[in-house]
Amino acid sequence: MSFIQFFWRAAKLWYHREADNYAAALAYFTPFALTPLIIFSITIVGFIVGVEQVTSMLLRWGNAIDPGVTDLLYRSVQNFDKFESLYYIPLIGLVFLSIMIFIALNSLTVGLHKIWGIEATGWNNFFKRLFRSTLFIIIFQAYLVFIILFEDTLEFLIKVTDWQWLSPVGFVMMFLSTMLLLTVAYGLLALKSPSFTGRFAGAAVACLLLLFSRELVALHFSTAPVQSLFGAAGLLISLLVWVYVSAVVILYGAACAKIYDGETHDT
């Protein structure tokens, strides 16, 4: 099967399993989940490598899409810190928004199950998904720690040796690490999943498309008058579009994993 046939079959599977609906559900819940996830990441990862380090990295990631969105999320995190002495307001809000993390991950899990043809209902499977989502959040923190430590080490080596050719190594390592993280996510969040090879192939496709789509989304919002048309709501629209596009790509990667596994088993 040629590459064109492979990607076409994955696209048909993605379409017939209505993955766009699950991507929309994930895009709806993610804005509520981002603030507590960022707070949790800054707290946990910041304890290990320093708050300034993790904050700086998250700001760089956000600015690659839209600095306005980054500023919006940064202010939402700061608002929780301002009320840290008034426990009721931040605690109730943080608990509510923390639940949204699991709801968002559950939306992704349901989408993966739909694409891979997995039936998983009942309370037992619900608690399994909850446990697996918790594990993934912990693994995501380890991913952030690794990226920060690697970037710091690479920066130190470049400063000491003046080997400027090492600069692209950071990008390559982050790309490969994200591929591995997505491979783990495919296998961990879903109760049943394709083989590791299939998931890795799907993650590779998804990461390449994420890289390409990120540039397209950033280009669109740098040229389109979204914020001038919608005002403050334009920032939220930018965030929703980026999350939706990312979810679409991740679920397409899951479809590629399914097709890859099917072709491997047929040969």
**Spatial distance between the Cα atoms of 132 and 140, rounded to a whole number of angstroms:** 12
End-to-end CA distance of the chain: 11
Map out the domains of the chain as residue ranges.
3-266
List, for residues 99-124, the tens digit of each pLDDT value: 888 999 999 999 999 999 988 778 88
Contact 139, 188 (CB under 8 A): yes
What pLDDT is stored for residue 266 in this prediction?
46
* Three-class SS state of 83: coil
Identify the pLDDT of residue 107.
92
Cα dihedral value 120, 125, 128, 129, nearest 10: 50
Compute the distance between CA of residue 176 and CA of residue 10 in angstroms, rounded to an integer. 22
- Residues of the chain with pLDDT below 50 are 87, 266-267
Provide the pLDDT for residue 57. Answer: 76
Among 207, 213, 188, 203, CA closest to 260: 203
pTM: 0.85
Name 206's Cβ contacts closer than 8 Å, sequence gap at least 6.
Answer: 182, 249, 250, 252, 253, 254, 256
Environment class of 169 (CB within 10 Å of its CB; exposed 0-12, middle 13-18, buried 19+): middle
pLDDT in the model for residue 267: 42
pLDDT at residue 77, as a whole number:
63
